[in-house]
Every structure is written in structure tokens, then in C-alpha cells.
Amino acid sequence: MTPESRESAVRVLYERLESDAKEIISRYPKPRSALLPLLHLVQSEEGYVSDAGQQFCAEMLGITKAQVVAVSTFYTMYKRAPAGEYHVGVCINTLCAVMGGDQIWEELTEHTGVGHEGTTPDGKVSLERLECNAACDFAPVMMVNWEFFDNMTPESSKQLVDDLRAGKEVVPPRGPDKLCTFKQASRVLAGFPDGLAGEGPTAAGPSLEGLKLAREHGWTAPSPDREGEFES
């Protein structure tokens, strides 16, 4: 990218995002604390964090571009190339792996023809090998734009991706009643709710077994009211 084209791209971001960026910055006592949501904001516009997007964040926050790059390249949720409309993550951490996550990843990459951080030619789906998604009781799990898909198999994972590429309606088993795009998810992460947070179940099945047993046996948590109750 030439300096002239970069400057032009930054101006476009100012036109589209300056108002939202200022709103985000106003939420923090120090401007530079707004860097993470600003990066999500840029990603919601471009589908990744571009060179111009990094420059935009630096200028808005009064920090150097190098400081922005140090953060944007550290966290894996910020993409260095355009992500697909639906970003699909396959958990390959220990429990998901032994329950079939590794096989899902191998078959899904062969099925789509793209690997880690790759995007299908139609721009619909990108893939990522993810570490623990904190949903081990539903292993193996996948995520699409950070929404969970539980108890997956190689067959169901390929069907999921095929449905996404075909434009079919896909509904997460837990969470909202519809699946947002990657850009829409990034805008939510930037701090602009889409009003869907209260839709659908957030917990189910094995996640609730402990609560079920506690209720059956009349177990309750210790009361913190008495002074020193939790002191060692």
C-alpha cells in the first residue's frame, strides 16, 4: 500500500467510524484504554484489522502505530486478513481433541480446501484452530462468529459449513435465535449491543447437572454473612 492509498483509506475510516470511535473512547478514563474495542470497531467495518485501521486507531488514541500493531498482532481475535462472513473455529484442545476435535479439523479442512486462518474462495467461511472454548461439557465444540455449536462430529461440521456457504438459516443450539455475521459480531464486541443477548438458552444439559443435584439434596452455598467465615 502506498502512502497515498493508505491516507485515503484512513480518511474513509474517519468518515464511517469517527463518531462511534469517540463514543467508545469516552467510556474510559484514559483514551488508550479504548484500544481493544476500537480494534473490534475497525474489524466490524473491514472484516479484519488493516494497515489503515491500525493507523486510524493510533490517531484516535494519540499513540504510535507501533503500539497498536503490538496489540493487534498479539490477540488472535484480531485478523490480519479478511475473515469470512462466517468465521468457524474448531476446538483442538485436550478434551475436544480426544473426543473428536482433531478428526473434525482434519476432515473440515479437506472438505473446504482451506486451512488455519484460510477463507473459502466465495468469502463465506474462514477456519481457525481454536484452543479451549470453555465448553468442555459439550465436547467436541465449534464456534461460528463466537456462538457455540455443541457435540459436533465430522459429518455435522461439514454440513454446518455447507449450510453457511449455501446461505441457509443456521441457529446456534445455545444463544440467540439467529447467527450474526463476523462483522456484526465484531461491532458487538466493540461495545454496541445488537439486542440479542437475552435470546435463547445460555446453559443446558451437563452444565446444569451440578445445580440439579444441589437442588435435589437441598445443598446451598455457605453464607458469607458471619465475620471470618471464609478466613483460613
Place of cell 468442555: 136
Name the class of domain 7-72: mainly alpha
Contact at 8 Å (CB) between 54 and 14? Answer: no
For residues 132-168, one letter each, b for 16 or more C-beta atoms within 10 angstroms of the residue's C-beta and e for the rest, the string is ebebbbbbbbbbbbbbbbbebebeebbebbeebbeee
For residue 230, what pLDDT is reported? 47
Q: Domain map of the chain by residue range?
A: 7-72, 86-181
pTM of the complete model beyond 0.95: no
Do 200 and 172 contact (CB within 8 A), yes or no?
yes
CATH code of the region 86-181: 3.40.30.10
Render pLDDT for 168-196 as a digit per residue (tens, 0 to 9): 999 999 888 889 999 999 999 999 999 88
**Segment 135-152, tens digit of pLDDT:** 999 999 999 999 999 999
Among candidates 160, 154, 75, 83, which has minimal Cα distance to 114? 83
